[in-house]
A and B are shown apart, each in its own frame.
Chain A
């Protein structure tokens, strides 16, 4: 499997309009097996299949999104993430992706553990609750923070487990996970300094120790 020309990748990134997708596209090695949890309409999986020759599978709770994913030729299963993971044998995938969903799961630690049972590596992307705008919003308003990345009223928010870059690093250490790569983003820009303060989105590539 040859790596596609960089120009096309950049174009698709713009098309997808999600900076974390672009990073994930860079991380995933060609010809691997990938499971995307909460894959939506399968845009990322379709792109990975066409450009990286991966075997792409997805889990998505919304029937309407699953329909569109299957219609575009991606093998997606309608179900919740917990159920989706339980069926698979150990190390069925090279990568298990969880993009902007960890903060919505009821038991994030369990999900992370299952991801690393089913996959050799996990790619976790999440909005950073430690970003300065979030801190400022709360400081100034005194209410639950609302920003571009956290646009919901507290009573409508799907986010139930808020976490920061710092929190994820601590959890990784607690679970003895190996952080192989970490990316910090603000819009489409990479953040190099003070990620916990300046990153809007963090992407971690982790694997189990040993």
Chain B
């Protein structure tokens, strides 16, 4: 399945901060076909560093999408049945307007003049995209991590637009620990002299800071078990310690590789803006309580967490489920056993496939 990215331009959007952003480009991909009644659309929401290329092989680079093992003919999100849409988030750097985009008022990249955005703003842009497609109700909204946060925001902000939601390995609001890790990443970027108050476009990007931020991120995505299994204390291409500060351990090599690879595909300022949006996210905002937030929600929910995920621990998913039960909503929940930590939502395909396939089939049945 070779897929191509598309872009649609919207005139402007009013943001939660009070600012207005104009225009807004949105990069998206679709897989499968929208049926005549437009009732088979599922919106896939990517995690922090993801993009619109969720599935298939990209026309441009020949790379598979970030959830390609879950989306496609016969897969969990079966493109023979469902019309899948994935777009790059507002503030991103993969085709949708973000800090690296050119501000039409100045002719220069926004950089730090880009307004601070929220998960709510990201979802508002996605709703504009659904209006543009002419899709009145989404059969489902789904995603892991920050994608799951957007799925929750959809269910709360646009309850009449979603039939079901599948938030995976996520939370209704960041804990102090989650904010702390994001802040370490931001500080690493801003401490890099090449960051230059965000004005590095056309010059040298803050590659060292961004790489360190990503290294920290990757530690939080794994688990003690998965790291022991993958690296242990193995040395990298040597029999004894080097007695210097080059790479000794496999794990160091892995993190350095992940860090430097990330620099090639991600914009440091987007890192700042998107992590800030995640930290600001709090589903209870303006509602008082989580149960009150879900007051108008009629969607069915399938909530999934992973046993070894310490970045988005199961208790956070259970909070979602408790609030939904207090509202007497239709909710299924399971904590899947996994060693992969937070990464499990991208890796543990087989178990999620059965769950999602059954949940979607019964959702279609109930909606009929």
Contacts and interface: CB of A to CB of B under 8 A. Distances in A.
A72 B326 contact: no
Task: Say which size band chain A's interface belongs to.
Answer: 20 to 34
A92 to B, nearest CB: 5
A55 B357 contact: no
A69 B359 CA distance: 10
Contacts of B300: 75
A77 B333 contact: yes
Contact of B325 (A73, A77, A78): A77
A67 B318 CA distance: 16
Contacts of B361: 73
B332 A67 contact: no
Interface in B70-112: none
Interface string B312-331: 00000010011001101011
Contact of A88 (B325, B354, B359, B365): B325
Nearest to B314: A78
Contact of A70 (B318, B325, B355, B365): B355
Given A89-B328, A92-B328, A67 B335 contact: no
B336 A67 contact: yes
Given A63-B335, A67-B336, A67-B351, A57 B359 contact: no
A70 B326 contact: no
Given A70-B358, A70-B359, A71-B358, A88 B326 contact: yes
Nearest to B330: A75
A69 B318 CA distance: 18
A87 B334 contact: no
A92 B328 CA distance: 7
B351 A75 contact: no
B357 A87 contact: no
B4 interface: no
B222 interface: no
B162 interface: no
Interface string B329-368: 0111111110000000000000100110111011001000
6 A-B pairs with the lowest CB-CB distances in the bound complex, closest first: A73-B362, A71-B358, A87-B325, A71-B354, A75-B332, A66-B334
Interface of B: 300, 302, 318, 321-322, 325-326, 328, 330-337, 351, 354-355, 357-359, 361-362, 365
Interface of A: 55, 57, 63, 66-79, 87-89, 92
9 contacts: A63-B336, A67-B336, A68-B354, A69-B332, A70-B332, A75-B300, A77-B325, A77-B332, A88-B325
